[in-house]
Structure 1
Amino acid sequence: MAREQLGVCAEANLHGDFLLLNAIDGQEVFLRQQLAQIPALVSQLADHFSEAMLTGVVAIGASYWDTLYPEARPAGLLPFPVLESSELLMPASAFDLLLQIRSDRQDVNYLVAQQLYQLLAPAVELVEQMRGFRYLDGRDLTGFIDAPEAVRGRKRRELALLTTAQEPQFAAGSYLHLQRFRHDLKRWQLLPVSAQQAIIGRNKSDGQWLPLVQLEADCHSLCFFQDKNRNQPLPLLTQNMPFADLKQQGLLWLSYSSDSTAFETFIRQRLGVGELQADGYDRLLDYCQADLGAAFFAPSVSFLEQYERR
């Protein structure tokens, strides 16, 4: 039975580090061997720092997959979707590898990031390191609860992990999409709470839906559903984390899914080019701008170990 990477379905942590890496040409054999060691190394460090609730994920970029694992490719692994509306653009980027490290201790994150990078360093270059943190009681920097209806326990596995029936070779793997949004908090904070709630579609205090008579068709929260009646939520397991300093603030948006099409449906809804978004684009995008977007696949531990020596 395939074993998933434990960080895919892990519950929220206080701190997150995200390393975007590009591989040096000709290092595929070395990288396959090193990547296969990462889950065991993270597990050992998680045992050592047991109070930190450490988890990690290694994911391979859509454009690099065939170079690293030419013998097999997840059926739905595609580059980040390039979609344009008349007013908005979601930029697409290509990175070879993503390392996600989360725990309740920033010092542990640093130590793990250092060790994982050293493990891969002869064969990769670090393009960017991003840090996220838990804000208040799980809120975005807009002040609203992030994913107030997020599923728990086994339901997370059902959303995120491929089954043997779907793709036998990639069971317990997950399609991963990453975006980085920069918020214009000065403009956002000038809005009255009632206007903010109309844009999000929820109460700011508790995350509950606004009454149907007040719900705008282009509100942010409806983008997560396949129908306007909120009966069919998109199968996305999000692990978002805010990032901030005194100059810039925003959100690192990560979603895992067993459905390779779910993220594109979501982004179409946001841009107003989806079938259900004839009323317009997600109005939250007037106050935040994506500057990075990339597609990855997080294979199972079993897959990494199986291809270690090939």
Structure 2
Amino acid sequence: MTTPQSAIVPDHCKAGIFIEADVLPGCENAIKQACLTGLDALAALQQQFPQANLGLTIAFGSRLWQSFGHCEEGRELKPFRALGNGLAPATQHDVMIHIASLHHDINFALATDVLAAFGGNITVADETHGFRLLEERGFDGFVDGTENPQGDENVTRVGTICAGSPDCGGSYVLLQKYRHDLKKWADVGVAEQERCVGRSKATNEEFSKDVRLPDSHLGRTNLKENGIGLKIVRRSLPFGTVSGEHGLMFIAYCANLHNIEAQLLSMFGETDGKTDLLLKHMSTAVSGAYYYAPSIERLRSL
């Protein structure tokens, strides 16, 4: 059981679909068959469109995963809890579906097939379509994902559980939706925006630690323990419309839940009372959930 699910490793995808759903009572066994059907649909579209970098992750909340009985796998998984006195709400669901590729139309085709496989066994709680903006920037105007590990080997090492564990190839997942107040952000001004993020906006140059604000985004998320960086793999994408809401679907994969949770605790003031300046000036978290994405082999043998 060693192959990570296929939406974890590929970087620089142009489009993504994020779906969260709850399983109806008594339908747990049907979910296992739906996962097989979904993987078959993925394989068919990957064969038809080999250059699309199409990937799929199907992941499970703790309640559903524990019902499958694989107690030695995904042992760190737990329900998401609200953080920062409600700044990060908890909206835990049973199933997460993450689809990513270079083409939205192919994503849509796969999402249609996967949801058809799950059928009436689930109730969809949220479906959000994300897309890559110019120069891989977010709606805040800054380059997104700069801290990601580079290269498939490094991504696999950081994002998935290593060989020798019973859950090798699995991954812990965080999914959060953030809404952005872009008018409020524009009123801050570029220089203050850069101080809030900890990077230059035009050149994406990281500010040195001696000038970086402790509650800047980098100050809150660029963490180390015993001299080792707490790395995660981000596969986030902006979402929104020109005339309506704007935001970020933040999704992170990691070999352990600790790295993800440490960053959240720091961002939302649970460690020292300081909260990420982006939360003050632009972003509002409107959802939050943890999931476990087993390896492809385990997903086929649930």
| Cα distance change of structure 1 residues 35 and 291 upon mapping to structure 2, 3 Å threshold | same
Cα distance in 2 for residues equivalent to 1:101 and 1:228: 32
1:257 alignment partner AA: C
Cα distance in 1 for residues equivalent to 2:297 and 2:44: 17
Aligned match of 1:295? 290
Aligned match of 1:284? 278
What do the CA deviations read for 1:107-140 (whole angstroms, capped 9, x no partner)? 1111111111111113112222101000111111
What do the CA deviations read for 1:205-250 (whole angstroms, capped 9, x no partner)? 1221124443111110122232499x54322111110011122111
Aligned match of 2:26? 26
> 2:77 matched to 1:81?
no
Cα distance in 1 for residues equivalent to 2:185 and 2:225: 25
| Cα distance change of structure 1 residues 81 and 263 upon mapping to structure 2, 3 Å threshold | farther
What's the offset of the Cα at 1:257? 0.5
Aligned match of 1:173? 170
Aligned ranges 1:10-159 → 2 under 5 Å:
10-67=10-67, 69-72=68-71, 73-85=73-85, 89-153=87-151, 154-159=153-158
What's the offset of the Cα at 1:13? 0.9
What do the CA deviations read for 1:81-107 (whole angstroms, capped 9, x no partner)? 33225xx62100121111111112111
> 2:226 matched to 1:197?
no
Which of 215, 235, 249 is equivalent to 1:239?
Answer: 235
Task: Give unpaired runs (5+ residues) of structure 1.
Answer: none
| Cα distance change of structure 1 residues 146 and 71 upon mapping to structure 2, 3 Å threshold | closer
Q: State TM-score, norm by structure 1.
A: 0.91
Cα distance in 1 for residues equivalent to 2:147 and 2:258: 21
- Asked if 2 retains the 8 angstrom alpha-carbon contact of 1:181 and 1:289, the reply is yes
| Cα distance change of structure 1 residues 213 and 70 upon mapping to structure 2, 3 Å threshold | closer
What do the CA deviations read for 1:258-293 (whole angstroms, capped 9, x no partner)? 01211111011102222xx46x21111012110100
> 2:236 matched to 1:222?
no
- Asked if 1 retains the 8 angstrom alpha-carbon contact of 2:197 and 2:278, the reply is yes
Query: 2:29 aligns to what SS in structure 1?
Result: helix
Query: 2:286 aligns to what SS in structure 1?
Result: strand
What is the CA RMSD across the aligned residues, in angstroms? 1.9
- Asked if 2 retains the 8 angstrom alpha-carbon contact of 1:182 and 1:290, the reply is yes
2:13 alignment partner AA: N
Aligned match of 1:8? 8
Question: Is the deviation greater in 249-258 or in 104-113?
Answer: 104-113
Cα distance in 2 for residues equivalent to 1:71 and 1:273: 31
Question: Is the deviation greater in 42-51 or in 291-300?
Answer: 42-51
- Asked if 1 retains the 8 angstrom alpha-carbon contact of 2:234 and 2:252, the reply is yes
What's the offset of the Cα at 1:71? 4.1
What do the CA deviations read for 1:172-215 (whole angstroms, capped 9, x no partner)? 00000100010110010112211000000001112211244431
What do the CA deviations read for 1:120-168 (whole angstroms, capped 9, x no partner)? 1131122221010001111111000112132222100000111233x31
Query: 1:64 aligns to what SS in structure 2?
Result: helix
Aligned match of 2:184? 187
Aligned match of 1:164? 163
Task: Give unpaired runs (5+ residues) of structure 2.
Answer: none
Query: 2:169 aligns to what SS in structure 1?
Result: coil
**Count of matched residue pairs:** 298
Q: State TM-score, norm by structure 2.
A: 0.93
Query: 2:129 aligns to what SS in structure 1?
Result: strand
Cα distance in 1 for residues equivalent to 2:297 and 2:145: 30
